[in-house]
Structure 1
Amino acid sequence: MRLTSARFALASALALSLAFPLSAQTAPAPAPAAQVQVDRSPWLYKGSDLPQDKAWIFGALPNGLRYAVRRNGVPPGQVSVRVRVDAGSLMETDAERGFAHLIEHLSFRGSEFVPDGEAKRIWQRLGVTFGADSNAQTSPTQTVYKLDLPAATPAGFDESMKILSGMVDSPGLSAAALDAERPVVLAEQREQPGPQRRVGDATRGLFFAGQPLAERSPIGTAETLTAATPAAVKAFHDRWYRPDRTVVIIAGDIDPALMEAAIVRHFADWRPAGPAPAEPDFGKPDPEARTSAALVEPAMPPTITLATLRPWQYNDDTAIFNQKRIVDLLAIRLINRRLERRARAGGSYLAAGAELDDVSRSVNATFVNIQPLGEDWEPALRDVRVVIADAMTNPPTQAEIDREVAEIDAAMKASVDTAPVEAGAKQADDMVQALDIRETVTTPQAAYEILQDMKRKKMFTPEAVLASSKKVFAGAATRAMIVTPTPSANAEQRLNAVLAEDVTGLIQGRKAAADVSFDQLPRFGKPGKVTSRSKVTELGIDRISFANGVNLLLWPTSAETGRVYVRVRFGRGYQALPKGRESAAWAADYALVQSGIGKIDQNGLEALTTARRIGMDFAIDDDAFELSAMTSAEDLADQLKLLAAKLVDPGWDPNPVIRARAAAIAGADSFDSAPAGVLARDLERLIRGGDPRWGTPGRETIARLTPEAFRALWEPLLKTGPIEVMVFGDVKAEPALAAVAATFGAMKPRQPAPVPPGGASVAFPAPNTTPEIRYHKGPETQAAAVIAWPTGGGSAGIAEGRKLQALSALFSDRLLDRLRSQEGASYSPQVISDWPVGLDNGGRIMAVGLVAPDKTDLFFRLAREIAADLAANPITRDELRRVMAPLMQQVARSSTGNSFWLRELEGGTFDPARIAAADTIARDYGTVTPADLQALAVKYLQPGKDWSFVVLPTPAKEGE
């Protein structure tokens, strides 16, 4: 991939501005090939006739370990490593539940080549962010160790491979390590939302009855984790962590020969501890097991889940196998489109959808998920069954099929177009996923050719889709689970009764889709006149102004092949919302987009944009509302027409508003079910001094929303305020300028957006010595704690805001070490800095942790101790390195993509300071010193200036 010189300059400047080298080592010389006999046959493609992706280089070592490596320069300098071990929770015995996940934790804590906690520090010095770049995941069937190494040097890469080899071969399984990490795993288990966990456990127990998957959650149980001993954990490790069950996957920006040499050097000597265990039997769906169940969960909205289960079996990943599966997926797409249309028209359910899935090599299943409209769930289930019965009884029209084929074709063609900028991390993750489900990978072009071959063979016919619709809803066993917030008399019997009904008599004729075209969108008049054009920033972006007041930032760049990003900012955002009262703003991200344009409803818009990369997203920022989309050069002109038409002639279909209201009411109680839910609902409002423009409204406010009130709020907001258009991506400048001129540039001049008195100001809550309290209705073992200090905001202080990111990263690293690694009190505490560029105030540094109720005081004590120490003492050069290297590498990698620059430059046509700040990014991050961070801590982390907040379990009533 080739990047503009300016992008290279930023990435290079960030790397070189470190006051210390990332690595002063030299890489070991590659091991002579003669020392280890590597089988280089493409083992992944055994039994497959799919075209091999020649970019992947395959190998197998004598000890059985396999590998797949490839060169990839996206993002530049990064190497993504995945070590997949075929060992998950389904390999555990009853007494070992949670051991696979526990070993994952212990491996990261310490291993043969690094002492306790040192791997994290080594990788930080190499620019790795803990959690984001170095992590692991345990599933029922595998454990995957992940490392994204930025700015990888040969020495840094080799050291990382050595560490990873020690983690899987010889993790630290001592009593001391186990006693230190066990509380962390128990904290992770404790922090899981109670209602979702209970529903998940009950559903797995019903659907997979008689199979290990029914009761093998990777997190394990408190009993088995508490009883775990070093010997027992080691026995599991020795049994399942074996080279013949391990695959190393690498995709990155270094020579593949170095990748192979490092694998040979660090993994070839790995020897299994004993004979290979028998492959576990994951069982098959039991047709004699219980078929349905009902669960009462007060914090959850009503939901129904149906499952048609078939035994999972291995299939050679061939072209015809994939082609048959595509027809099956097309049948599911048709059903889902019909379900969505019925819901949009005011059906008996809020949402419903079907999916095909291979679950943990245990079942092949068709799932149907239904969220009824309210607690009257029987009509919803019946209506969904009617749609499915129709698909199984009557063939679709060829026009319906052609539309879905066109959508699939467009998506696969887009993958071909953007393949040159596909990230190495994604390619590595895709390989892991393929291995887990025993499939292969191929190139986007080869996959696209398989689809074209299907078209040539006329595989997409009404008869073929009808046959697939019948096939995907046939199986060895069926299951149904209903969850209701209140007890429902005889719910299970009523569920079975509706499922037993013959609904074919309720099938109605299908309504043909109306013909729509872009000609039905409003016309904008003559193309707008350009009044000024100049280059801004070192990147050479065009800043263009039109006579009607619209401003454009235009950046033609091939950094992301085939992608064009469009962002339209208008009005004044949160500043324009009514201050001092709740409004209908909360429903806009769904209802505003779905309410149509002019007389064209959402169904018509979807038909209009079939097989094209045209979309629409909506968001509210501090100082603007935003419409955005990712499109292509070919579709840019029509994409701009659609976005401009949304402002000129928005539709006001009432159904999306009614649906948004119903969905919000259905989910309102779920916020109270766990501390994290209360934070999600209340924190954004509380941290702004209770300002009702932010946060989630209460049930009464939601219930009062009407389509008329929604329109009354949004109609003037869409019509007023300045417009800034940003077009960044793989497009030529003059055609893009002409497309903007013909749409936004041709609009009538807009009236100023009224800003309510005080709308641009945001309050910070008053400091407190006793935390503000909210309560949740979830497990009594869960709580949350928050402490925050006010900072600032505005474009004039962007440089200080960037340095505050460094301070918060430092604060977060220390809090993680003390609260998680040392105390075992929280799984993932974090510290965040927010500097709102669109406001002159409202910024903060905020620490958040999910803890046990009796650990909230510990959280506040540690947070305040860390804050005080940061103000009192300068940090060491090594700690600065471990904080700044990951932060600067994050910025350097992000800067190679268009989204980063859209975020940095948005609003810049009305606030030139933002554009000027884009040229100082490397300097602002690269010149941070220990004295800078101490000065910021003294300035902002002041004792007595902090605000604290806790979410505790609802106290039991007397007598309970």
Structure 2
Amino acid sequence: MAFPVRVRRIALPLLALIATTPLVAQTAPPPAPQQQSPKLPPLQPVAQGPDTPWLFKGSDIPPDRSWTYGVLPNGLRYAVRHNGVPPGQIAIRVAIDAGSLMETEQERGFAHLLEHLSFRGSMHVPDGESKRVWQRLGVTFGSDTNAATSFTQTVYKLDLPGATQAGLDESMKILAGMMAEPTITPVSLNAERPVVLAEQREQPGPQLRLGDATRALFFAGQPLADRSPIGNVETLQAATADMVRAFHDRWYRPDRAVVVIAGDADPKLLEAAVVKHFSGWQAKGPAPRNPDLGKPKAGGPLSAVVNEPALPTLVQMATVRPWTVGNDTIVFNQERMVDQIAIRIINRRLESRARAGASYISAGADLEDVSRSANITAISILPVGNDWEAAVRDVRATIASALRNPPSQQEIDREVGEIRAAMENAVATSRVDAGAKLADNLVEAVDIRETVAGPEMSLRIFDGAVAGKFFTPAKVQAATRKVFEGVETRALVNTPTPDPAAVNKLAAAIQADVTAAAEKRGPQRTVKFDELPKLGAPGKVTGRSVVLTDPQIEKVSFANGVNLLMFPNNSETGKVYVQVRFGRGMSALPSDRMTPAFAGDLALVASGVGKFGQEELDRLTGDRQIGLSFGMQEDAFVLGGITTAADLNDQLRLIATKLAAPGWDPAPVARARAVMLASYESQSSSPVGVLQRDLEGLLHANDPRWASPDRKDIEALDAARFRAFWEPLLASGPIEVQVFGDTTADATIAAVASTFGALKPRPAAPAANINVRFPDHVATPVVRTHTGQPNQAAAVIAWPTGGGSAGLTESRKLELLAAVFRDRLLDKLRSEAGVSYTPNVSTDWPVGLPSGGKILAIGAVPPDKTDFFFQLARGIAADLVANPITEDELRRAQAPVLQFIARVSSGNMFWMQQTAGGTLDPKRIDAINTIASDIGTTTAADIQALAVKYLRPEKDWSLVIVPEKKAN
């Protein structure tokens, strides 16, 4: 059963301009539901009957009747339901029960290749036309329409925004044609084969090799050990149209297909669409037999070693067991919940040791059902430095202690409390679960042969386990022993340098007696909010005004200078978003030297509040809906969290106290340093890693505010320097609080008054450093190298634009220019030339700075195709300057952007992002009213004018990342 705390699975915007009559009327958000009692009626098992939906055969869990289930005469199964989140959208999933484990040796990679061919063309659309059809319907290629091939399943995904009857009908026709009759010809195969090979080439080599080696060890003797969905070069190059068609005809059958639709439409209409378009699909030939996926067997190697210098030293362990399919019953799920409690307790203990300065940076255990091949208890360990033997010993000692000694009821109750709090929140917010999420959950359940249950049903099953006394020390200890039993325990270590003895050392380490190293644990005391440092008396309101009327967002000012932006609304039931912007952000940092700012996201929150470190804060907030995150923007630092109306006051109190009385625990700083050093070399291991490390610094003319720290900077990081840098920044500069969500205006004002309004007036922040420079034009590209695969490279070209709130209208039109550029580059570089799988064009406009924006084109290409990339990109840019785009191109650029805005504007995060900083810069809020018209009224002439203004060849800057030359 899919429920909110299930285990992680292994996984080696003017609408009138673009829509006609919607399937359902767009209405105001429904009223918030009445507060539910946490005491739900006991769950009773249900008996099987003729009306039992196909997904629930063999289960006694009451079926989720929000779904309509059915089976067509040809064997195709379907499930449809109404869901209005986001409004007007319909999420469609078509799952084929075939992945890489169904391939023969000569068909390696065919399931994934067929996925590509199906999207390229089919019986109802010519080559490449499906993308254009969906763009005209507002679909964003790559996010709203996508597909994924796994070991056991291929899933086609379409999120259809602003769905109309005609749009749904056309989309279902295309999808049905893709399944039944994709275009598989020598021409289409030869056109798409290079794209698949490019996708394979662009994968990060070290990570790929590590994943392959891990599967080879953990699943030795089973097909999963050597069946990556990406396939291999030899079989892909040898593929013929007849061979691929044979694979399609064998596995793409209606009796192996499931269609799932969740959307803003009458379920009867959705069901009729399935019947209309998929009933004519008929299987070809006899049904194939599912392959034997084998079972883990003892007797093979227990350990393996890989040497990937680009990756940190790390250890992965797994206790393997056969994958079995049992009935997905209430008791089965309750027993699995006990297993999860056991794992959570171990992980809590491991994390506590890591925070205190253990031999490992991080370690964790997980339960995984892997591709119908094995059930495993997986353990991942990231040692401090290279002493992996000590890390393995210490992690195993923690596990050994849990095996020998039952946990305390206090430990169990903490985990039960946190799980129940999360489940209660899921029940409260279930009305705003996105249709795409619900569809994905059901597709996953089909793949792993389980059912689905709504949040309320999951909570009732969990409460039944509590009432049935499933969570006792003895039962949790028994579950701990069970999840660490299996056929064998196997382990793999990555060492940066070869060690001939490492295989034997690791085998010995995972079998050594660690009882002498077992940890001792004492009781953990309860922590209360009243123990936080005290704030002052509640602040006085000095002003209140409406700054935006649709929707109505208000500004409230307090006597101490704090400003509040609030938007009380119940569009997202049970959720309240809190964002606190303070100081000047990156504008407050020096531009002549590297600072400890780079460690802020890793160590600032973890450093604690007052006398409380992260351990105490976890106990303080564990069974509450209170979060604490940190980020840096151009013009502000940001602390935030997602909470509920009941927890809003304490959420605000925690953040306010973090500013007024921050903690300075040195351990998180040391841990942050260790994390960055452990991953430092991996940044050089691929073009993507080098881009992530160097690109923003280069695009800001090596301004250290955007540059990544080098090894010396990281090694020099210590707690004293970290505190000396961050302490004045936390204590100075303006504060803007945003509270958007399911609460009331009075409650919000009172909560802010008693927390941020109670702070002492803050000194002004240092003058903002707003000087930002784009790099000078270069006649030849800047060169960076990587240490990864010799067939990988990347090419980047960028043009400077602008920044600031005064130019927001122009920035929105630039989104359309970038969309047209992206579509042309994708067609030329990927679909036609097959040189790159992931070319992209984006635009960035920093609202908090007067300059620093850019249009950026990027492509992962072979090393000998970088010049070809620049030739194409500059050619497209020159044509956009010289010639107006077609009306069809304009529509295909506008529709997805407008639909995206329509969808995200139904949520609070959109309005928070648009209004952020508006108390200091009202132009940001004023510009919100023109978002739709800025995009919807843009003309082809506007696009050309922007191209003339910005895509100037004498201003562009370019970069290549090529393989490092090996010494002879």
Cα separation, 1, equivalents of 2:254 and 2:339: 37
Compute the displacement of 1:512 (Å).
2.2
Compute the displacement of 1:577 (Å).
1.0
Any stretches of 5+ residues in structure 1 without a counterpart?
1-12, 27-38
2:39 alignment partner in structure 1: none
2:14 alignment partner in structure 1: 14
2:683 alignment partner in structure 1: 671
2:556 alignment partner in structure 1: 544
Compute the displacement of 1:508 (Å).
3.1
Contact 2:117 2:182 survives alignment (8 Å):
yes
Compute the displacement of 1:919 (Å).
1.4
Compute the displacement of 1:489 (Å).
4.4
1:778 is aligned to 2:788: yes
Compute the displacement of 1:23 (Å).
8.6
1:72 is aligned to 2:99: no
Compute the displacement of 1:41 (Å).
5.0
2:906 alignment partner in structure 1: 896
Amino acid at match of 1:853: P
Q: Could you tell me which of 258, 269, 274 is aligned with 1:258?
A: 269
Compute the displacement of 1:262 (Å).
1.3
Amino acid at match of 2:225: A
Q: Could you tell me which of 632, 646, 650 is aligned with 1:620?
A: 632
1:941 is aligned to 2:951: yes
Q: Could you tell me which of 59, 67, 70 is aligned with 1:59?
A: 70
Aligned residues between the structures: 930
Cα separation, partners in 2 of 1:463 and 1:24, compared to 1, 3 Å: closer
> What pairs up with 1:349-428 in 2 under 5 angstroms?
349-428=360-439
Cα separation, 2, equivalents of 1:507 and 1:478: 20
Cα separation, 1, equivalents of 2:711 and 2:22: 59
Amino acid at match of 2:743: V
2:674 alignment partner in structure 1: 662
Secondary structure of the 2:545 match is strand
Compute the displacement of 1:819 (Å).
0.4
Query: Deviations 1:731-755 (Å, cap 9, x if unpaired)?
Result: 0110111010001011000001113
2:965 alignment partner in structure 1: 955
Compute the displacement of 1:486 (Å).
1.3
Cα separation, 1, equivalents of 2:777 and 2:955: 5
Cα separation, 2, equivalents of 1:846 and 1:728: 33
Compute the displacement of 1:24 (Å).
12
Contact 2:22 2:162 survives alignment (8 Å):
no
Cα separation, 2, equivalents of 1:417 and 1:735: 19
Cα separation, 2, equivalents of 1:363 and 1:119: 38
Contact 1:783 1:851 survives alignment (8 Å):
yes
Q: Which runs of 4+ in 1 moved over 2 A?
A: 21-26
Compute the displacement of 1:583 (Å).
0.9
Query: Deviations 1:258-287 (Å, cap 9, x if unpaired)?
Result: 111111111111111100011111100121
1:218 alignment partner in structure 2: 229
2:598 alignment partner in structure 1: 586
2:576 alignment partner in structure 1: 564
1:322 is aligned to 2:356: no
Secondary structure of the 1:130 match is coil
Query: Deviations 1:391-444 (Å, cap 9, x if unpaired)?
Result: 111000000000000000001111100000000000000000100100001121
1:849 alignment partner in structure 2: 859
> What pairs up with 1:171-250 in 2 under 5 angstroms?
171-250=182-261
Secondary structure of the 2:377 match is strand
Secondary structure of the 1:58 match is strand
1:573 is aligned to 2:551: no
Secondary structure of the 1:537 match is strand
Amino acid at match of 1:610: G
Amino acid at match of 1:382: R
Query: Deviations 1:747-787 (Å, cap 9, x if unpaired)?
Result: 0000011136xx21111000112000000000110000100
1:868 alignment partner in structure 2: 878
Q: Could you tell me which of 488, 495, 506 is aligned with 2:506?
A: 495
Q: Could you tell me which of 340, 347, 352 is aligned with 1:336?
A: 347
Query: Deviations 1:59-98 (Å, cap 9, x if unpaired)?
Result: 1011100100000000000000000000100000011000
Q: TM-score, normalised by structure 1?
A: 0.96
Q: Could you tell me which of 140, 146, 152 is aligned with 1:141?
A: 152
1:464 is aligned to 2:471: no
1:30 alignment partner in structure 2: none
Cα separation, 2, equivalents of 1:381 and 1:40: 52
Amino acid at match of 2:458: A
Cα separation, 2, equivalents of 1:596 and 1:439: 41
Amino acid at match of 1:834: D
1:787 is aligned to 2:819: no
Compute the displacement of 1:25 (Å).
13
Compute the displacement of 1:17 (Å).
3.4
Amino acid at match of 1:483: N
Q: Could you tell me which of 525, 535, 541 is aligned with 2:536?
A: 525
Cα separation, 1, equivalents of 2:126 and 2:265: 28
Contact 1:23 1:126 survives alignment (8 Å):
no
1:441 alignment partner in structure 2: 452
Contact 1:340 1:351 survives alignment (8 Å):
yes
Query: Deviations 1:38-73 (Å, cap 9, x if unpaired)?
Result: x97511110111121111001101110010000000
Cα separation, 2, equivalents of 1:489 and 1:651: 45
Cα separation, 1, equivalents of 2:766 and 2:946: 36
1:801 alignment partner in structure 2: 811
Q: Could you tell me which of 677, 698, 714 is aligned with 2:710?
A: 698
Secondary structure of the 2:270 match is helix
1:713 is aligned to 2:731: no
Cα separation, 1, equivalents of 2:341 and 2:887: 57
Secondary structure of the 1:816 match is helix
Secondary structure of the 1:374 match is coil
Secondary structure of the 1:593 match is coil
Percent of aligned positions that are identical: 60
1:733 alignment partner in structure 2: 745
Cα separation, 2, equivalents of 1:477 and 1:24: 57
Cα separation, 2, equivalents of 1:23 and 1:85: 32
Cα separation, 2, equivalents of 1:180 and 1:306: 42
Contact 1:25 1:155 survives alignment (8 Å):
no
Cα separation, 1, equivalents of 2:516 and 2:90: 59
Query: Deviations 1:147-169 (Å, cap 9, x if unpaired)?
Result: 00000001110110000000011
Compute the displacement of 1:337 (Å).
0.3
Cα separation, 2, equivalents of 1:780 and 1:680: 19
2:695 alignment partner in structure 1: 683
Secondary structure of the 1:578 match is coil
Amino acid at match of 1:213: L
Cα separation, 2, equivalents of 1:500 and 1:87: 38
1:744 is aligned to 2:753: no
Compute the displacement of 1:384 (Å).
0.1
Cα separation, 2, equivalents of 1:934 and 1:40: 60
Q: Could you tell me which of 289, 305, 311 is aligned with 2:316?
A: 305
Amino acid at match of 1:808: A
Amino acid at match of 2:945: A
Cα separation, 2, equivalents of 1:649 and 1:867: 52
2:7 alignment partner in structure 1: none
Secondary structure of the 2:680 match is helix
1:93 is aligned to 2:96: no
1:932 is aligned to 2:953: no
Amino acid at match of 1:849: G
Any stretches of 5+ residues in structure 2 without a counterpart?
1-12, 25-49
Cα separation, 2, equivalents of 1:23 and 1:552: 39
